Amino acid sequence: MSSSSGSGATAERPRVIIFGSGNTFYGDDGIGYCLVKALEKCARINGASLVAVQALNPGHSALLEGYDYVVFIDAFYEPDMPGGSDIAVLDLDPSVLDEKDAVAVIDSIEPHSLDPLKLLVLARAAGIFSGKGVLIGVRPERVEFNKPLTGSVIRRGVKAVKALSEVLGRLGIAPVIEEECVERFLHSVCRGPLLD
């Protein structure tokens, strides 16, 4: 397990992993995956690791070992986005659940698919991760098989990158992200399904 406590200036900054997830076979559902792939090409984020997956599964909990903070970027399907916006930034802290609630979450897990909070609860219960996280959710416009990202979700993706910069800034990380490069990547590379 990892902790953000320790001596020295670098020990104070948490170890961060950025997880983009989404199924690129279903249009806008792939925005999280595509954004992290774009960040790999269009950003310098010293102090954070990047991971892109088509769908979260229990095995991904092992990737959280050694990290203090997780930033998830994913399509967010809640009908009531906070404040009626297209982007949601939601804190995820599995430590606030008591044992009974944590067990209920774990019992509800499907073996082949997870949401970010369930992944954190599972990793915490397994003793792999004791930190916190945040979900940067992007409202999808169209989720249909074999369709490209919509223009609306690409614009929201650029807004999500700005939200990511703010979240990372609060953690002491100053990313350099070329937003125009991200937008070009989403338009050109994410026109159809991507493979891991």
23 falls within a domain: yes
Which residues contact residue 27 at a Cβ distance below 8 angstroms, ignoring those fewer than 6 apart? 140, 142, 143, 144, 145, 147, 148, 149, 150, 153
Question: What pLDDT shows up at residue 43?
Answer: 97
CATH value at residue 60: 3.40.50.1450
Token pair 């609060």: residue: 170
- The reply to whether 123 falls in a domain is yes
Cβ distance 167 to 134 under 8 Å? Answer: yes
| Residue 52 forms part of a structural domain | yes
Binned average pLDDT, 10 residues per bin, the chain of 196 residues? 38 88 94 97 95 92 95 86 80 76 66 80 90 94 92 95 97 96 94 76
- Note the pLDDT of residue 177: 97
Domain of 39 in residue numbering reads as 14-191
Q: Is 55 domain-assigned?
A: yes
pTM metric for this prediction: 0.86
The answer to whether position 9 is within a domain reads no
CA-CA distance, 7 to 133, in Å (whole number)?
A: 23
Q: Does residue 65 lie within any of the structural domains?
A: yes
In the chain, how many domains are there?
Answer: 1
